[in-house]
A and B are shown apart, each in its own frame.
Chain A
């Protein structure tokens, strides 16, 4: 299995630009999670999906952030407009059926730098 795939691996953009991060979960996994990692706040859950439906988006910092999962094999996290404080590593993770408390498998992350 290829594992969780994220793209791009690195993104540098200017303040005010739109940023789209992409994730392909492991085939057959029903849960998909988006995390953000910063030095100040550590690893924090932004949103997660079950069977393509958003279950909990309470971690999404503000309206500039949005996430979608149009099908079982693809999800996006969009930031519009981006700000320097959005600079972080963004991880996507997936877990199998019965995802509640199942092991989450992480992608390699997208390192975002907003200038």
Chain B
């Protein structure tokens, strides 16, 4: 069975600085997707970024980028130029071949002005 681990329950970053959230996963599959979702206090789950496992190039969406290390089964999220609106719970998720999403426990990010 696949598992997703986020080892940082809480992180803090100064506004305008850069922060990296960690995620590791365990799988025997070779074809899968990885996602980062953001959950602000409103509880809405918002897609931040996704990565296809077959692509070597790391995904980037504006200030958000990932460091995907397939051999190490690591998928970290880097947020550059952090903004107050980035404060939220961030979930790493693994999408398996059956269509399921398996979520990590989440990392709560706070942004200090």
Contact = CB atoms under 8 A, between A and B. Distances in A.
B103 A42 contact: yes
A29 to B, nearest CB: 12
Interface string A84-115: 00000101010100011101111011010000
Interface of A is mostly: strand
B55 interface: no
Interface string A58-97: 0000000000000000000000000000000101010100
Nearest to A100: B99
Interface in B64-110: 91, 95-106
A106 B42 CA distance: 13
Contact of A55 (B32, B45, B50, B99): B99
Contacts, number: 50
Interface residues of B, number: 25
Size band of the interface chain A makes with B: 20 to 34
A48 B50 contact: no
A42 B106 contact: yes
A12 interface: no
B11 interface: no
Interface of A: 31, 33, 42-45, 48, 50, 55-56, 89, 91, 93, 95, 99-101, 103-106, 108-109, 111
B55 to A, nearest CB: 13
Given A43-B91, A103-B50, A56 B43 contact: no
13 contacts: A31-B99, A33-B101, A43-B91, A45-B100, A45-B102, A48-B100, A56-B98, A101-B32, A101-B33, A103-B35, A104-B101, A108-B43, A109-B44
A89 B44 CA distance: 11
